[in-house]
C-alpha cells in the first residue's frame, strides 16, 4: 500500500521526466507547498543546481554542510558562488562536543581506523548537521545522479524518504557527467578547480583523492574501503552487498587536460 509521500513522489517524478532543469525546478516548487531545502556540497552537479535555483529566484533554501575538513578550493568556490549570484549559502557545522570527543578518542585522522570509525566521523560531521538542516522540510533537493556510482545507479527523480518524512528530489538523476559539464560551461557557472585536477567527486580533504583512469567517479572517496561501504550516510537505500564500481567514466577521461571546463573559467 503506497503512502501519501510515495504517491506525491511518483507523480512528481512523472511530471519532471520530460522537462529541462528550469522546468523541473518550477514543477518541484509547485508540487510541494512546504519548506524546500537544497543541500549543496559545492561539487559540479550541485553548482549546476545552485545556478538553476538562483536564476529561478524561488523559495528553495540553499544550505551546505561545513564539515570543518573541506578543501581550501571548496571554500573558495563557496565564496565565489555567493558573490556571483548575490546569495548566502547557509552553513550547518558539526556539534563541537561531538567533534572534540571523536578527536580525543580516535585521533585527528581516526576515521581511517575502521569503517565504523569513518562512519562515526561522517555521522557527526554530516548526518547530524543534515538532520538539523532538514528539520521541518517537506522536500529535499540533492545533486545525485545515477551515473555517479553503482551504489547510486537506481537514483530516481523523486522518492519518498519515509524516515525523514519528506520527498527527496534528485533533479539531475538522469543527467550524465557530460550533461553537467556542458551546462556549467554554457552558463559560465563557478566550479571547484579540483575538478580540473582529476577530482570528479569532492568531499572532505583527508578522505578524497584524484581518481585513476578507468575508475568510477566516486572511487576517490574513502578509497581504502570496499565499494559497498563508500557512502557517508546522508543518502539511504544503499545495498549492503558488495557491488561493482559505476561504469560511467569520469568526465576528464575523455576530455583533454586543458578542458573546456578549465577554459570556461
- Give the CA dihedral 7, 148, 74, 50, nearest 10 degrees: -40
Exposure string (b/e) for 15-49, b if CB count within 10 Å is 16 or more? bbeeeebeebbebbbebbeebbbbbbbbbbbbbbb
CB burial class (10 A; 0-12, 13-18, 19+) of residue 220? buried
Taking only the tens place, the pLDDT of each residue in 129-160 is 999 999 999 999 999 998 877 777 789 999 99
Q: What is the pLDDT of residue 261?
A: 63
Average pLDDT over residues 11-29: 97
119 DSSP β-pair partners: none
- Predicted TM-score (pTM) of the model is 0.83
Sequence ranges of the domains in the chain:
4-193
Taking only the tens place, the pLDDT of each residue in 237-260 is 433 333 333 333 333 333 333 445
Taking only the tens place, the pLDDT of each residue in 63-102 is 999 999 999 999 999 999 999 999 999 999 999 999 999 9
- Active site amino acids: 232
CATH architecture of 4-193: 3-Layer(aba) Sandwich (3.40)
Average pLDDT over residues 212-229: 80
Q: What is the pLDDT of residue 231?
A: 46
Q: What is the pLDDT of residue 227?
A: 57
Mean predicted lDDT score pLDDT of the chain: 87
User: Which residues participate in the annotated binding site for [4Fe-4S] cluster?
Assistant: 121-122, 204, 207
- What lies within 8 Å, CB to CB, of 124 at 6+ separation is 94, 95, 98, 99, 102
- What lies within 8 Å, CB to CB, of 108 at 6+ separation is none
Amino acid at each position: 500500500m503506497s503512502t501519501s509521500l510515495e504517491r506525491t513522489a511518483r507523480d512528481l517524478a512523472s511530471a519532471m521526466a520530460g522537462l529541462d532543469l528550469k522546468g523541473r525546478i518550477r514543477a518541484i516548487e509547485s508540487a510541494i507547498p512546504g519548506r524546500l531545502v537544497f543541500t549543496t556540497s559545492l561539487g559540479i552537479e550541485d553548482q549546476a543546481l545552485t545556478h538553476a535555483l538562483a536564476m529561478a529566484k524561488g523559495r528553495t533554501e540553499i544550505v551546505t554542510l561545513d564539515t570543518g575538513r573541506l578543501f581550501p578550493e571548496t571554500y573558495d568556490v563557496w565564496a565565489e558562488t555567493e558573490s556571483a549570484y548575490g546569495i548566502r549559502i547557509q552553513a550547518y557545522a558539526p556539534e563541537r562536543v561531538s567533534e572534540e570527543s571523536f578527536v580525543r578518542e580516535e585521533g585527528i585522522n581516526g576515521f581511517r581506523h575502521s569503517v565504523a570509525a569513518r562512519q562515526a566521523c561522517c555521522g557527526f560531521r554530516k548526518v547530524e548537521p543534515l538532520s538539523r538542516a532538514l528539520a521541518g522540510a517537506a522536500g529535499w533537493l540533492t545533486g545525485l545522479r545515477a551515473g555517479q556510482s553503482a551504489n547510486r545507479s537506481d537514483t530516481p527523480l523523486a522518492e519518498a524518504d519515509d524516515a525523514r518524512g519528506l520527498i527527496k528530489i534528485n533533479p539531475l538523476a538522469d543527467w550524465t557527467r557530460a550533461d553537467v559539464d556542458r551546462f556549467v560551461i554554457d552558463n559560465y557557472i563557478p566550479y571547484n578547480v579540483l575538478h580540473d585536477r582529476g577530482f570528479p567527486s569532492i568531499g572532505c580533504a583527508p578522505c578524497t583523492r584524484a581518481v585513476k583512469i578507468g575508475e568510477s567517479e566516486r572511487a576517490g572517496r574513502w578509497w581504502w574501503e570496499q565499494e559497498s561501504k563508500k557512502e557517508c550516510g546522508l543518502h539511504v537505500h544503499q545495498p549492503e552487498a558488495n557491488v561493482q564500481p559505476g561504469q560511467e567514466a569520469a568526465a576528464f577521461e575523455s576530455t583533454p587536460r586543458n578542458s573546456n571546463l578549465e577554459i570556461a573559467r
